[in-house]
Each structure stands twice: as C-alpha cells, then as structure tokens.
Chains A and B, each alone.
Chain A
Amino acid sequence: MSEEIEGTRPATDEATHKEQQEIDDNVISPEKAEEVKLKARYPHLGAKPGGSDLLRKRLQKGQKFFDSGDYNMAKAKVKNKQQLPAVTPAEKAEITGDHIPTPQDIPQRKPSIVASKLAG
C-alpha cells in the first residue's frame, strides 16, 4: 500500500526524501496516519505496541487493593475527628492513606436481588 507518488518528491537531500516518504505513507495508509496522531498525543507510548503492557493489564483485571494499615489509620482519624469523612466523588480519586474507605464506605458487593428487566 505504500506506493511512491511519482513527481511529487522534492529533488533535495536524504532527510527531506525520508520525510516525503513518511508523508506519502500517511496519505495512503489511514492506519499509519492514525498512529502518527496517537504518537503526537502520547509521545511516551511504549516502544512495544500491543505487547506485554496491554496483556498484563488484561490479566490483572479485577485486582483490588486493601491495606489494613491504611484502613486502621483511617478508622483512627475518624475517631479523632468525631465525624465520618465525607466521601465525595472527588475524594474517591487517589490519595492513599488519607481517604482509604472506612467500613461504612466500602461498597458491599451484593448479588442482584432485582429480577432481570428482560423477564419483565
């Protein structure tokens, strides 16, 4: 699919020749054009595309982390403050140790007690 476009290549040095080749590629292959777009947005995207990182992420799906030390610290903090720390959606993003959920905040995984709407 990366055919050369006749007559459009500038007659100057190697560097511009290579650039032109790349531009030709992008014009002809939409997939490569998309790749250029992606690399522009995420310059540090792995040199090994679609490889171990993606696969490892896939294999680790479902991993939850619970640190009893943080949990107990948070519990102690609650006692000192004499109130429940409010869990707003903003707080749910990330600082470990500061807002690890108290027993009241941990969502209890319950099975669906409601019947499926397909059966309704």
Chain B
Amino acid sequence: MAGAGGGGNDVQWCFSQVKGAIDDDVAEADIISTVEFNHSGELLATGDKGGRVVIFQQELESKNQPQCRGEYNVYSTFQSHEPEFDYLKSLEIEEKINKIRWLPQKNAAQFLLSTNDKTIKLWKISERDKRPEGYNLKEEDGRYRDPTTVTTLRVPVFQPMDLMVEASPRRVFANAHTYHINSISVNSDCETYLSADDLRINLWNLEITDRSFNIVDIKPVNMEELTEVITAAEFHPNQCNTFVYSSSKGTIRLCDMRASALCDQHSKLFEEPEDPSNRSFFSEIISSISDVKFSHSGRYMMTRDYLSVKIWDLNMESRPVETYQVHEYLRSKLCSLYENDCIFDKFECCWNGNDSVVMTGSYNNFFRMFDRGYRQDVTLEASRESSKPRSVLKPRKVCTGGKRKKDEISVDSLDFNKKILHTAWHPQDNIIAVATTNNLYIFQDKL
C-alpha cells in the first residue's frame, strides 16, 4: 500500500461516495458520533447522537468497472440505544453511541459492540435469504389449520426469499459504570473486552452480562483530590494480557493483567517531559489525550492530543518517536477556542493497514494524513464541492500569516463548527471513511 499522497509519493485520493442529508439544518440526532470498519473491511458501521447504528456493506467489484472498488451501500440500520433517565441520581442518559467495535467474524453472522454513556450492547447482524414453506398445520399466512382437515403429510422445504438483514441485541451489559463510558475494546482472545469510563476500567466476558471485573480504578478517596481522568483505553492487538489507557494529563499507562487482578500499578508509563517554562493555563488542557490506538503490528501506539499526533514505541517510555503537528496555527487562537469550548473537542486518529500512514481530523472539514516513511503530510477536505465521482481531492493549505496565496485559506476564515472528529481506514485497502457533522464521506485512492 502506498503512502499519504502529495509531494513525491503516489497516492491520489478520489471522492467515492457521500452519505447523509445535504441540507444545512442538522438535527442533533443526525450528528455522527463513531465510524468503524469491521476486520475484513467489507462492513462499515456508523453510530449517531440519536442512538442509531447504520451499517454499510461493500458491493463486490463489478467486472464492468475494474478501475473502481465496490461501493458501500446500506446493509442494516437499527436503534441501538434509547434515551433514559436515572431517577435515583437525576441523571439524563444520552442515547448517543460513543463507540462501536466489531468482533472478528466466527460464523455467518456479524457481531458488534455498541455503547452509550452507561450501557454496552452486543448486536448480532444476520442474513436471512430463505424461509420454510409447506407446513402441515399452518397456512402460508400463519393461521392454524383444523387438524381434522389434514389428509396428507408433506415435508416443509426452504424456499428462497428476498435477502433480509436482521439485527438483534444478544447481550446487554449494564449497570457497571458510574461515570461516562468513553471506550470499549475487544480482546485478541475474542472472549473478553474492556469498557472504560472517566475513572474506571472493567473487564467483561462476552457471554456474561451480570458480572464484570474492575481492573483499573483511579478514583481518589476524596474527590477534591481528583486531578486526572481516563480518556481512552485499548487492548493490545495480539497480546491478550496487555492494554493501555490514556489520561487527561497527557500520559499513557500500559498494564499487564498477569501482574495483578487490579491494574492500578502500571507496567509502563509513557509521558513526554514538558519544559516548565513553557507551561501556560492551556498546557494541561491541550495535552489531554483524546484517542489512543495501537498499530496493527502491536509495536507502536498513536495518541491524539489537541494539536498533535504522537507515535510511541512501546519499548520507550520517555518520549514519542514521532510527533506530527495537526494544526499548530491554532496555538495562537487558544483563548477563543477555550471560550467557544472547541479546545475540548475530542479528535480521533487511525492507522492505515500497514501502519505506514496515520490520519486524523481537524476543523473546516479538513483532515490530515501523515506518511511516516516518506515524511510527508497532506491536508484534504471533505466537502460537497469536491464531490464529483472519482474527482481527485486537491490538497488544502492554511495560511498562517503574511500574504495569503491563492487557494489558501486563512486561519480566521476556518469554520470551527465543521469538525472532523471521526475517521476510519479500511484494514487492507486505501479506502477511508471520514465523518463530518452529519455526513459520511468515502474516499478511495485512484486506481
């Protein structure tokens, strides 16, 4: 797989599809809150603020158009979570889907975990393309026949029917989190998964819903002493005993479940030393890690904080091996970004299939890719203007001061309401899914 594109490298990104309404009047429920490819890349799931999940399936490549990869079309859609009110605590529980994680496929059906702030659900998505016909005691419409009228017997047979995709909740994992769930991660053992909230991480068995083990608890005895919260957590991709969690102070802790039942003592602590003379009111806020993702190889992990993406070698805790600036020009806008709350936006990040390129979102519907090998980066935009089929995306540039060149956009013209928080990369191919506020864009490399 080739790199990020732009400059000397050869990948050019083309518009493929866009999903969602065109109108500017966005209902809150339509705000996309999570995007995730399954392990084969054939399925692409989105969750929204209204608690709904939409799954797209990639069509098989058609022989007529060998230069295109298959399109993603709606496969299934269902209401995963509903709004609730906890009367005991006077707490409104949003139905917004915070995360979706797919289970590796084991049989004909597909399984995914979806979670809101308080409850995780395991959904089974299965296909039905035949139905039994020719019952002896029932008519075709379901009414029961009078047994005395039955004179002959026949064996019911399966007849083909139009494909029906059904989603059913198979497990509901509830009542295990006092605080708001920010992450779920399926273990490589395919039997367990973790769920993390602001202060605790729990370990579940996928089969068991009435019991969960607490493996991390950072709640201080006296809440006045609270200084940091858990922001994200993930299992290692192939070491089933290892997981990491990031904090609002910019640290990542790696834990080994073999060491003890409660992993409050980390095995490794990843933290970049800070120059104390550079410290400002904003330092801690912008160092808060909003996402952590292991590389597919398991050798590295990537963290996203407000202004940068950092790649860490698991063997080196003292500092990241690579740092990429996403939108450094925002450093001189922190005051207004604090006032409009944008400084608290939680951007996610993702790796491509062979860990050579990383991607993350920004404002103005811009998203950024960093090619680790070629040391190149590119800024692209998800917009309706560049949505002609197979049109190549033009790299964008933000002008940081001085004379603005043609085609550049100045920092003050950026639209901070157009945030790309969620992006996903196909596990093998150069296909990416980029979520704007209420639209899902799919881009592919030019074949």
Interface residues of A (CB under 8 A from B): 1-2, 29-35, 37-39, 41, 45, 49-52, 54-56, 58-59, 61-66, 109-112, 114-120
Considering the chains assembled together, what is the distance between the CA atoms of A45 and B280 in angstroms? 13
Shortest Cβ distance from A33 into B: residue: B332
Q: A31-B331, A55-B229 are in contact. List 5 more A-B contacts (CB 8 A).
A: A35-B281, A59-B179, A62-B91, A118-B32, A118-B54
Among listed B76-84, B206-214, B297-305, interface-contacting one: B76-84
CA A112 – CA B29 in complex, angstroms? 7
**Does B334 sit within 8 A of A, measured CB to CB?**
yes
* Contact residues of B between 9 and 37, Cβ < 8 Å to A: 19-21, 29-30, 32
- State whether A111 touches B51 (Cβ < 8 A): yes
Q: Are A62 and B285 in contact (CB under 8 A)?
A: no
Contact of B93 among A2, A62, A115 (CB under 8 A): A62
B248 and A118 within 8 A (CB): no
Nearest-neighbor residue (CB-CB) of B224 within chain A = A52
Taking Cβ atoms with an 8 Å cutoff, the residues of B that contact A are 19-21, 29-30, 32, 46, 48, 50-52, 54, 74, 77, 79, 82-85, 89-95, 117, 179-180, 198-199, 223-224, 226-229, 248, 275, 277-278, 280-285, 331-335, 338-339, 438, 440
Given A51-B227, A112-B52, does the pair A118, B117 have CB atoms closer than 8 Å?
Answer: no
The total number of A-B Cβ pairs within 8 Å is 137
Chain A residues within an 8 Å CB radius of B30:
116-118
CB within 8 Å for A30 and B226 given contacts A35-B281, A62-B92, A64-B90:
no
Residues on B with beta carbons closer than 8 Å to the beta carbon of A116: 29-30, 46, 48, 50, 52, 54, 77
Write the nearest CB–CB distance from A111 to chain B, whole angstroms.
4
- Whether B333 and A34, one on each chain, are in contact in the complex, defined by CB atoms closer than 8 angstroms, is yes
What 6 A-B pairs have minimum CB-CB distances, sorted nearest first?
Answer: A50-B284, A30-B332, A112-B50, A111-B82, A109-B83, A34-B334
Shortest CB-to-CB span from B223 to chain A, Å, is: 7
Q: How far is the CB of B435 from chain A (nearest CB, A)?
A: 10
Please, which residue of chain A has its CB at the minimum distance from the CB of B277? A2
Pairwise interchain contact A63-B229, C-beta atoms closer than 8 A:
no
- Give 16 CB contacts A-B under 8 Å: A34-B335, A50-B282, A52-B226, A55-B229, A55-B248, A56-B223, A63-B92, A64-B92, A66-B90, A109-B83, A111-B83, A114-B29, A116-B30, A117-B30, A118-B20, A118-B30
Chain B residues positioned under 8 Å from A117 (CB to CB): 20-21, 30, 438
**Chain B nearest Cβ from A69, distance in angstroms:** 14
Given A2-B277, A56-B223, A64-B90, check contact A110 B198 (CB 8 Å): no
Chain B residues lying within 8 Å of A111, measured Cβ to Cβ, are: 50-51, 79, 82-83, 95
Q: Which residues of B contact A120 (CB under 8 A)?
A: 20-21
Which residue in chain A gives the minimum CB-CB distance to B75? A119
Q: In the complex, what residues of B have CB within 8 A of residue A55's CB?
A: 226-229, 248
- Shortest C-beta distance, A57 to chain B (Å), equals 10
Q: Are A118 and B51 in contact (CB under 8 A)?
A: no
- With A1-B277, A59-B179 as contacts: A112 and B282 at CB distance below 8 Å: no
Cβ–Cβ contact B198 & A59, under 8 A? yes
Chain A residues within 8 Å of B223, by CB? 56
Query: With A and B bound together, what is the CA distance between A58 and B117 in angstroms?
Result: 12
Query: Within the complex, which residue of A31, A45, A110, A112 is in contact with B283, where a contact is CB–CB below 8 Å?
Result: A31
Chain B residues lying within 8 Å of A58, measured Cβ to Cβ, are 198, 229
Contact present for B90 and A29 (CB under 8 Å)? no
Q: How far is the CB of B125 from chain A (nearest CB, A)?
A: 14
What residues of chain B lie closer than 8 Å to A52, measured between beta carbons? 224, 226-227
When C-beta atoms are compared, the residue in chain A nearest to B50 turns out to be A112
Interface contact B284-A49, CB-CB below 8 Å: yes
Which of B21, B83, B277, B282 is the one whose CB lies under 8 Å from A35?
A: B282
Measured CB to CB, the nearest residue on chain B to A54 is B285
Residues of chain A within 8 A (CB-CB) of B84 are: 109
Using known A-B contacts A2-B277, A111-B95, determine if residue A37 contacts B90 with beta carbons closer than 8 Å: no
Chain A residues, CB < 8 A from B224: 52
Task: Report B-chain residues with C-beta under 8 Å of the C-beta of A31.
Answer: 278, 280, 282-283, 331-332, 334
Contacts of B54 in A (CB 8 A): 116, 118-119
- Smallest CB–CB gap between B42 and chain A, Å? 18
Complex Cα distance A64/B92, Å? 7
Bound Cα distance from A49 to B281, whole angstroms: 5
